[in-house]
Amino acid sequence: MVKLDLKYGLPFCNVNLCYNEKIISIKNVLLDTGSGGSVFKMDVVEDIGITIEDDDIIESISGIGGTEFVYKKDIDSISLGMLKLDNFKIEVGVMDYGFEINGILGMDFMKVVGAVINLDKMEVSKLNSQIQ
């Protein structure tokens, strides 16, 4: 089970990324069921060597905040507490949305790991651990 923080009226969490055997813990990541993909702030992930390279493809993504250019990277793993996926693809962008946010954890992660979000308790757990 992972505790969520309520900031700006939205659920935030801490996420760990592993890239080339380097691990970073990222705070202020929005848990967003309305986002198809997971996006992380360029300035933050540079700390473990995730940078744009000549062969990376730049794409645009659109959301409630407008359109943003991102590039995609395959990472070793991503985890939210005990919820973990290996060989995961993230998007990386500037993420200048006018408030403190270092990433968005989207449905591409939550669906595969079977995340259950309990907003009453402000917790995320695995689907099979929710026995009533």
Long-range contacts at 59-63 (CB < 8 A, ≥ 24 apart)? 59/91, 61/37, 61/91, 61/93, 63/34, 63/35
Query: In this model, does residue 130 exceed pLDDT 60?
Result: no
The domains found in the chain, sorted by start residue, are 2-129 (2.40.70.10)
pLDDT tens per residue, range 42-91: 999 999 999 999 999 899 988 766 788 999 999 999 999 999 999 999 99
Angle, alpha carbons 43-80-51 (nearest 5°)? 25
From CA 91, how far away is CA 2, in angstroms rounded? 23
pTM: predicted TM-score of the whole model, two decimal places: 0.92
State pLDDT tens for residues 21-40.
Answer: 999 999 999 999 999 999 99
Question: In whole angstroms, what is the distance from residue 18 CA to residue 34 CA?
Answer: 24
